[in-house]
Chain A
Amino acid sequence: MTDARDDDALMLAFAAGDSTSFDELYRRYRKPLYRYLFHAVGNRATADDLYQDIWSRIINSRDGFRRSSGFKRWAFRIAHNRLVDHWRQLGRRPSADSEQTDRLADDARSGPEATMERQQQGDRLRAALMRLPPEQREAFLLQQEAGLTLAELAEREGVGRETIKSRLRYATGKLKTLLKPGAEAAGE
């Protein structure tokens, strides 16, 4: 049974002590947040760690949540900040190396015959995403998963609106090229 309340109302109810509100909120955001992390870091183990940590931060920061923040933006900001911390710990931003792409391929699970083609398409998308430069990939993922606008992305990244626009344009062009039939065979 779904809850008709919006995300912000659910988060405020959770902050007031209603744990069922959290269940509904979690149901709505478990996939988008996980996908964002998974596509950003490229492997399940790291994504699992970050995912757990991000939800812990959301739970612990519940009293600081304000309706004006908007839960979706607020949660993805926490996720983004955690991701930046993760990269800082590594000492570098992840590169689109073949190792990560291989790991993604390992993570991909085979499905029934009927969905095989879709799954292959998904694998190709993930592989293509991992080959994007990190800034472009993150801008693309935040736009797709968190639904952030150009202005919000620019504010979050601390760059100009035109820079974000440019990153997204390059990301889109590169993904289109990588997802063309025969692109992998051509070694692009």
Chain B
Amino acid sequence: MSPNEREKTTSELADLYTRHGEQDDIEPEAGLDRLIRARAEAAVEDSRSRRALPWIGGLATASVAIVAIAVVLQQSPTGERAESDVAIDAFSRQATESNDSVEPAAQAPLAEISRRARSAEQDLAGSPPVGFSERKSLAADRSLPELTEAAEDRTDADPAEALAVDNPERWLASIRQLVERGDIDKARHPRGTVPVEASTGGHQARVVPRAGLGFAHRRIRAWRRYTAASP
């Protein structure tokens, strides 16, 4: 068979085979088609669900990480600051104990003490009354000034409050006497209502250290010096 004849034969056979393939009924049954299509569909569904899982896993991991970071940030640091926390806690307890025994109206002396402690601190540091860094601390320490400033304003003018500032024990004793006599109006705070924040006693003391630890720590030291110097 020559190459030309062979090529012709191959071509004829290919045509015959193709025609035969197009026209004959050799094809898979419909049931087989359905089975294979269903298998493909199931495989796609399966891979979809598998693809969704890493996304959920990633989300869960990210959530756990965020919670963990938040917890770490909320924790107080160790070392130096932890020591200051101990001192602040002691101060808080002391303040709470002393405040528990007085009426809400007696909160004003605490404000004055706070003011004096601050000025004593400034004197010791030899710095201007309120420097930039101090103002920064005060800005961060909003709860304390808010509590003290109103009381400071009041103590400047009223003699009864001056008494409270100079001798709190006496002032408290006089309040008790006034209450026993039923003279409630006189027993009240010299300028009337006591701010709600200042009347919370122990809560006030606990608010102080949270506002700014450095500032509070200095305040405590100043307070100690003040109490040691006072008769």
Contact = CB atoms under 8 A, between A and B. Distances in A.
Contacts, number: 87
A33 B48 CA distance: 28
A35 B27 CA distance: 7
Given A17-B44, A55-B39, A144-B18, A173 B25 contact: no
B40 A17 contact: no
**Do most interface residues of chain B lie in helix, strand or loop, or is the interface mixed?**
helix
B150 interface: no
Interface in B8-58: 9-10, 12-14, 16-21, 23-29, 32-33, 35-37, 39-41, 43-44, 47-48, 51
B125 interface: no
B196 interface: no
Contacts of A125: 16-17, 20
B78 to A, nearest CB: 50
B36 A34 contact: no
Interface string B45-86: 001100100000000000000000000000000000000000
B229 interface: no
Nearest to B19: A118
Contacts of A38: 26
B28 A34 contact: yes
Given A26-B37, A119-B24, A172 B6 contact: yes
Given A23-B37, A125-B16, A118 B28 contact: no
A187 to B, nearest CB: 22
A172 B25 contact: no
A154 to B, nearest CB: 17
B228 interface: no
Interface of B: 1, 6, 9-10, 12-14, 16-21, 23-29, 32-33, 35-37, 39-41, 43-44, 47-48, 51
Given A26-B33, A35-B21, 20 more contacts: A19-B41, A22-B44, A26-B40, A31-B27, A34-B28, A35-B26, A48-B28, A52-B36, A55-B40, A56-B39, A111-B25, A115-B23, A121-B16, A121-B20, A122-B20, A122-B23, A144-B14, A173-B6, A175-B13, A176-B13
